[in-house]
Amino acid sequence: MRTKSHSIIYVPVKGARSVKLPVILLPDGVRFYEALHWTVERFDDSLSVTTLKKQNEAIGAFVDFFHVLKNEPAVTPELLRALIKEFREVRLAGCQDLGWKPVAPGTSEREIEYLSLFFDHCADAFGYLPVNAADEVATDAMSYRDRLRENKKASIRRKGLLGYLWKKTAAGSGKSASRPVRGRQGVPRGANNYKSFPPHKVASLIESCHSIRDVMVFILLFYGGVRSSEVCHFLVSDISPFPDPKTGEAIVTLAHPVYGWIDYHRKADGKGVRHAQRQTYLLEEYGMTPRNLLSPDDPMQAGWKGMTYEDKGYRSTVHWSRPDMGILFYELHKRYMAVRAKTGTKHPYYFVNIDPSHSRSSYGQPMKLKSLRDRFHDACLRVGLTPGRDNGINPHGARHFYGFFLANVLRVSKEMAQRFLHHGSIDSTDVYYNLTAAVARDELLKAFEDASSNPDNPLTQPLKLKAK
């Protein structure tokens, strides 16, 4: 059984309907003020409640490690860095005293990243010990505004629960610290980190579906590269009633569930078309909260990882890797809308429960993320596959298949794949853009043939050996 010295409660946010933020309670039952301060700041920066929950769980695990396993030692900058390093090793190996099972390397690295950012926040906001390398700057060189900020920190240091991490001798020396952000060492990449859904099983998986809705969801996952959580945020207006005039493909919009702009007719007065953010639209028209802002324990909650948007309205477009699948999606869309209308639903979400025999109470309600995963799991079993987190046989493995298809079948450049996957960094695309050995060699041979076509290129001319 896991040994804990902390607990996490969820507190409603004033003025935000159905939104609850995680709050860590320390062994004495007092709230972890610094963690709460960081959580509120991250929430204001539009992080999802799910991500905030994971970050607080990482901090809570470190609290257990610090209080139970290490017995609250007096902290110095060097010891704090050593403790974080030891914490990582304990998480990877597991700990019987704390009831911890070994975690995956990727999970450990994310926890260390969260802790690094958290302690950086504590250092910046409250003047506590920095975890990362420090470059000292004389207080005399500070601006007047910076000195005022330092004075405000001083009062918080005396009240903060991490006040013992602030080294008074450093403050007395008239120096402050500005630190570079420490880079996170990632998990080595290779064949074992490739998580694409088995390519030869995609067609049979989609064909095994018994529901028109599930077929459409799977087409979006495999051939639109859409994340499973993003599927749950689609509104009816995100699927254009008309296909692309050139290709006949469905035109599908991906938009931020909170800040994405939408045009709609107000039910209250029916005056013209209003242009507003989705959070305003959902609240005014349906009394609903964007699903990424719901509490993690709400069954309707669905996260939002973010993306590179294609316009100022925080909107992007689904790029079909196979045009015929985009055309098929549009044809299914026309049929699906007739089925959806029979549910009599009173909300704007596109994908709903269309099976009254499965659950009468949820008939016509927005599709849950758990339901999507369960349907995917069932389809995998029907085609003889065993679902798992590490073998690619899961909904996110479909997005990796999308990257596999772009790289190995269409052979588009990595820069184009980055655009189609809506990644902000090419480093994110590297995880999905995995060329097979056969395709890589084929591309190499083609490149050599092109270079060899120039007879004046001395670097590609055949060797003339003189050996006897």
Kindly tell me if the per-residue pLDDT of 419 is higher than 70.
Answer: yes
Q: Write down the pLDDT at residue 413.
A: 92
**99 plus 238 within the same structural domain:** no
Give the number of other CB atoms < 10 A from CB of residue 269: 8
Q: Write down the pLDDT at residue 458.
A: 75
- How far apart, in whole angstroms, are the C-alpha atoms of residue 24 and residue 56? 7
Per-residue pLDDT reduced to its tens digit, 251-265: 999 999 999 999 988
Residue that terminates a domain, selected from 178, 213, 238: 178
Kindly tell me if the per-residue pLDDT of 344 is higher than 80.
Answer: yes
Q: Residue 130 is encoded by which pair of tokens?
A: 């920095």
**What is this structure's pTM?**
0.66
146/238: higher pLDDT = 238
**19 plus 143 within the same structural domain:** yes
Q: Write down the pLDDT at residue 18.
A: 67
Average pLDDT over residues 11-34: 82
Q: Write down the pLDDT at residue 151.
A: 56
Sorting pLDDT into bands at 50, 70 and 90, what band is 212? very high
Q: Write down the pLDDT at residue 146.
A: 55
Strands 175-178 and 135-138: antiparallel
Average pLDDT over residues 175-188: 43
Residue 437 in domain? no
**26 plus 136 within the same structural domain:** yes
Residue 228 in domain? yes
Residue 110 in domain? yes
Helix axes of 212-223 and 395-404: crossing angle, nearest 10 degrees: 50
Sorting pLDDT into bands at 50, 70 and 90, what band is 315? very high
**230 plus 161 within the same structural domain:** no
**212 plus 126 within the same structural domain:** no
Per-residue pLDDT reduced to its tens digit, 358-372: 666 789 999 999 999
Kindly tell me if the per-residue pLDDT of 232 is higher than 50.
Answer: yes
**206 plus 91 within the same structural domain:** no
Residue 468 in domain? no
Per-residue pLDDT reduced to its tens digit, 126-180: 878 777 644 444 445 455 455 555 554 554 444 444 544 444 434 444 444 444 3
Kindly tell me if the per-residue pLDDT of 193 is higher than 60.
Answer: no
**171 plus 203 within the same structural domain:** no
Q: Write down the pLDDT at residue 16.
A: 62
Structural domain total, the chain:
2
Average pLDDT over residues 14-35: 83
Sorting pLDDT into bands at 50, 70 and 90, what band is 289? very high
Buried b / exposed e along 333-355 (16+ C-beta atoms within 10 A): beebeeebeeeebebbbbbbbbe
Average pLDDT over residues 71-90: 85
Give the number of other CB atoms < 10 A from CB of residue 42: 19
Residue that terminates a domain, selected from 401, 428, 456: 401
Q: Write down the pLDDT at residue 159.
A: 46
Residue that terminates a domain, selected from 342, 367, 401: 401
**209 plus 169 within the same structural domain:** no
Q: What domain range includes position 352? A: 199-401
Rg (CA), the chain: 27
**220 plus 169 within the same structural domain:** no
Residue 295 in domain? yes
Question: Using alpha carbons only, what angle is made at residue 333 by residues 329 and 336, rounded to the nearest 5 degrees?
Answer: 130
Q: What is the mean pLDDT of the chain?
A: 83
**149 plus 222 within the same structural domain:** no
Residue 189 in domain? no
Sorting pLDDT into bands at 50, 70 and 90, what band is 230? very high
Q: CATH number for the domain including 236?
A: 1.10.443
**173 plus 227 within the same structural domain:** no
- How far apart, in whole angstroms, are the C-alpha atoms of residue 326 and residue 245? 13
Q: Which range (21-35, 146-160, 387-401) has the least confidence? A: 146-160
Kindly tell me if the per-residue pLDDT of 418 is higher than 90.
Answer: yes
466/337: higher pLDDT = 337
Instruction: Using CA atoms of 125, 126, 129, 130 in order, give the dihedral in degrees to the nearest 10.
Output: 10
Q: Write down the pLDDT at residue 133.
A: 47
Maximum mean pLDDT: which of 49-53, 84-88, 102-106, 243-247: 243-247
Average pLDDT over residues 298-319: 91
**57 plus 88 within the same structural domain:** yes
Residue 461 in domain? no
Q: Residue 293 is encoded by which pair of tokens?
A: 């802002």
Percent of the chain exceeding pLDDT 90 equals: 46
Average pLDDT over residues 274-284: 92
Percent of the chain exceeding pLDDT 70 equals: 84
Kindly tell me if the per-residue pLDDT of 20 is higher than 50.
Answer: yes
Residue 423 in domain? no
